[in-house]
Amino acid sequence: MEGDNNTNGLKYTWTKNGVVIPTAISSSYTASGIGTYQLKTSNGTCSILSEPVVVKFQDSCIYSPRANCLEEQYFKNKGRFDVHYADNEFGYLCSDAGTIFKSQLVYKYNTSEYVGNEQWEQMSTTTNNHLYGIHVVDTSYGIAVGEAGTILQLSNDSWSSLTTNPAILVDLNDVSFGDKTNGWIVGNKGNVFKLTKAGSFSSRLLGTDNLIGVNFLLQTMVG
């Protein structure tokens, strides 16, 4: 978004839903999510307020489950898949044969509104094994798990294999992080693994049943 007047000496103040955005002090601003934006321009003596600009999502496939439109397009005849969003604008989806897609909301101006469209991009990976679970802590770090002990790690917008010692041979079904550094992986035959962003790895055995899902209810409570 950009104001009509960018003359030197003017002061610019952007608001979102009526609240001042402290870092938005130039004549242009990139919308940081859905909401109503306005620009106040002043020269020290008088000021003018722009017409409101509304930023919103365009179609229902962006809402929960936001992967529905991608499921229909790419995974109609596929097996299991999982999707997780790092924030309101970035997400990742994993499925068969080492497939991972990255989602991003791209805003385009349409008459008086900025409309967000969800765009999916397939990423390269280092495995052809099926992937069953994925969790992204933020846009720079995440873990995907799957068939025959497969663990992929997201770093610098790239997915690569994470090796463990000893090697994991069972299928891994899900992964969840309670905070930005500590995560848990569950798999077949009661296998549970704890990993950290720093690279440490430990394992334990909880019975012999296949464990399908894991989720942090709180940072200190796993369910």
Instruction: Quote the Cα angle for 187-169-157, to 5°.
Output: 75
Q: Confidence band (pLDDT; 50, 70, 90) for 3? A: low
pLDDT value at residue 12 = 86
Sign of the C-alpha dihedral computed for residues 183, 163, 93 and 108 taken in this order: positive
pLDDT higher than 90, residue 130: yes
The C-alpha atoms of residue 165 and residue 176 are separated, in whole angstroms, by 21
**Hunting for tokens 């805003």 — which residue is that?**
107
pLDDT at residue 167 is higher than 70: yes
What residue segments make up the domains of the chain, in order of their start?
11-56, 58-222
CATH number, span 58-222: 2.130.10.10
pLDDT recorded at residue 216: 72
Highest mean pLDDT: which range of 37-41, 64-68, 71-75 = 37-41
Structure tokens at 16: 């979102």
d(CA 222, CA 183): 10
> pLDDT > 70: what percent of the chain?
73
Comparing 31-40, 41-50, 61-70, the range with the smallest average pLDDT is 61-70
With residue 74 as reference, give the H or E element that holds it: helix 68-74
As a whole number, the mean pLDDT across the chain is 77
Highest average pLDDT, of 11-25, 26-40, 69-83, 107-121, comes from 11-25
State the pTM of this model. 0.63
Mean pLDDT of 148-167: 89
103 pLDDT more than 90: no
E strands, 50-190, where? Answer: 53-57, 82-85, 90-94, 100-110, 113-123, 131-138, 141-146, 151-155, 158-161, 172-177, 182-187
For residue 73, pLDDT beyond 60: no
Confidence category of residue 134, pLDDT binned at 50, 70, 90 = very high
Does residue 74 carry a pLDDT above 90?
no
